Structures are given as structure tokens and as C-alpha cells.
Amino acid sequence: MPPKAKLNSISINKPKFDKNDYVFVSHYELLYEAKVLERRREDEDDQNSEWTYQVHYKGWKKTWDDWVSESRMQAITDETRALAAAMNEEFKQAQEQRKKSTASGKRKSLALATSNTNSNRRATSDANSISNRAGSDEGRHPSTPIQHQQQLQASTSSSSVLPRGLFNNTTNNSNNKRRRDPDIEDEEHFFTRKAIRLNVPDNLKSMLVDDWENVTKNLQLVPLPAEKPITKILDDYLQHERDPRTANYIREPYSAECDRLFEFVAGVKDYFNKALGRILLYRFERDQYHQKRLEWQSRIEKFENIRCASDVYGAEHLMRLFVILPEMIAQTNMDSQTIQALRVEINRILAWLSRNVDTYFVQEYETADAEYVNRATGQ
């Protein structure tokens, strides 16, 4: 009997959506409902290349039909419908806030223009005063504009303390406009920065409130190291999400969506390790943090397999990171599409954590002894 033919080891990327399927397509900060018209590979010669789909947007003319990549598409579910509605509401609020900030900016520009006019008048008056003093020192007033300029330079060069190169782009022309104050520009554009609004489930909100009260009011601590540390939580979430995202593939090749999942998980872990000691701890926890940090850096037996903070801390501190991420992202230069993808990933892991509260959150906080309380509170 001839030997059985070996299965082809080349992975084949199968499409997630079929013709006539209804999907959500991300475009900037919104999700639009659309119908799949056609599909094709980006590279017909590459069986693992990403699929692209021709879609018709619901409520829009055919002239808006477009080819979009699979990474921008999501199946229509109750979760994605809620996300689309929340994004639409947030977009409307951002539009209203933008109008208010624009009106405020116009008022500030008018005030700035008035201030510049007054400043120019004072500068002209000061220049004339310097010119008169220079003329008096010479026993006569300058008879030509060149002599006037030379005297102004001579009268100011000896008292200048500005570092060389600070105003390399300026000239001696007295009609140059004063630059806008960068602080004013930042204030004008502050409310137009891209940010994300999270859909935090109610039970996780309650956990955050209880966490705050336990630490700041009851002077209790989260037991460390956590039974289910953040590294374990993220690994479990990765396994949970990776299987359905690779369900349409042979031999688990990594699609664009899987790549995004891995990048998100790695980014959360990295952000947490860098942010914990700076912004995620209450004052009462700082002494505990320093103690545990010394222990895991010393590689004592209890911490022999621990390399970083995400191996020590658990879901309570991970939630603190998630709720401040919108503010952190607002200070970055992320584009709208990246922010939208990040919002989807964060909302997914929040929904998953909400369903697994009993598994990953501690049931009881530990009460600190009197010595620790005195040391942590400075008594």
C-alpha cells in the first residue's frame, strides 16, 4: 500500500466573512454598519495574504462603496452594537466640545491680538527711548537708519544674557510678529485630543470602589504575591481570545487580528511594570511595594520565579491601570484608527474580567500590623 500523502504544511488564511454578511466597519472614530458585496485576497498568489472586502455602507449611496481590510471589520453582536452606540455618542459629545473650544480659542486669539498690539507699541516706545539715549551719549541723534540700527545693537549687546541660538530664526526687523504662546495653544487644543471612553462593567466599578476603601479607609493591603498575578491573567486571556480568533485558520497562523491581540497583551504588561511605582499605588501601599520589590530582586525562595511587578500584583492593580489608560492615551500621538482598535481590545478584556471576578480578584484584603501602619502613615 502506498504511504499516505502528508498534509500540506502551508497555512491557508480562510475568510471570516461571506458575501451578503452584515458587519461593522471601523472608520476613524466610528463603527459603520455595512453589507459585504465581494471579497478577494490582497495578493492572489499568496494563500496566507489578508482578505479584503467590498462593502456597502447602510444608508449611504453606492458611490461610497469601498474595499476594506479584514482587520477593520467586526461581526455584528450585542457587544459590538453597544460599542458602536457608545462611540457614536462620544463622537457627538466631542463635536460639541470642539465647537465650544473653537469659540473659546477665537476669544483668546482676539485677546492675544490686542495684547500683541500693546506690546508692539511698548516695543516701539522702548526702541525710541534707547535711540534717544544713544544719541545723547554720542552728542547727536543718528542721521541714518543704519547708524540707528548699529546704536541699538551696541546698546543692547552688552546686557544680553540669552544663550546663543535661542532666537536663530528671528531677525532685526521690528515688524516681526510675536510667536503664539505655546501654553495658550495647548489649552485651546486640549479638549480636541483623541481619547477613549471605556465600558467598565458595574461589578468592576464596585471592585474599584471597594479596593479604594479597603486601602485608604480601612488601611488594608492586597495580599502579595497574588495567587493569580497579572502575568497569569494576561496569559489566560490570551489563550481565551486566541482560539476563536484563529478558528478560521489551519495550523494557527497569526492573522492581523491575532497580531493585534499579542501586541495589546504585551503592551499592557509593559505599561503596568513601568507605571506601577509611579501612578498606580496609594500612599499606604508604597512601603509594601518597596518591601516586595527588594524581595523579588533578592530572588528569595518565595520570589524565585518572579522577575517583575506583573508577576507579583494581581487584578486589583491591573484595573487601576485600565481606568487611567484613557488619560494616558490622550497624551500620545496615536492616530484615530489605533485608538479605536485599542478601545476594542480594552473593552474585550474588561468584559472577560467581569465574567471572571471570582477567579482573579482576592476575596479578602489583609490587615497591616501596627508597625507597618505607623511607618506607612508617618506616625
pLDDT tens digits in sequence order for the chain, 379 residues long: 444 444 444 456 788 899 999 999 987 668 889 999 999 887 777 777 788 899 999 988 888 888 888 878 889 988 888 888 888 887 787 777 777 766 666 565 555 555 555 555 554 454 444 444 444 433 444 434 444 444 434 433 333 332 333 223 333 444 444 444 444 445 455 455 555 778 899 999 999 999 999 999 999 999 999 999 999 999 999 998 887 766 544 444 556 777 888 899 999 999 999 999 989 999 999 999 998 888 877 766 666 677 889 999 999 999 999 998 888 887 778 777 888 888 889 999 999 999 999 999 999 999 999 999 998 887 6
50, 259 Cβ separation under 8 angstroms: no
Q: How many CB atoms lie within 10 A of CB 289?
A: 18
* CA distance linking residue 155 with residue 134, whole number of Å: 7
Q: Residue 246's Cα: distance from chain center in Å?
A: 27
pLDDT for the residue 229: 95
HSE-up (13 A, CA, CB side) for residue 302: 9
**By C-alpha distance, which of 294, 276, 283, 303 is closest to 375?**
283
Task: Give the per-residue pLDDT at 51.
Answer: 86
Helix (H) or strand (E) holding 330: helix 315-330
The counts of H helices and E strands in the chain are 11, 7
- Residues β-bridged to residue 75: 23
| pLDDT score of 124 | 47
Indicate the residue type of 357: V
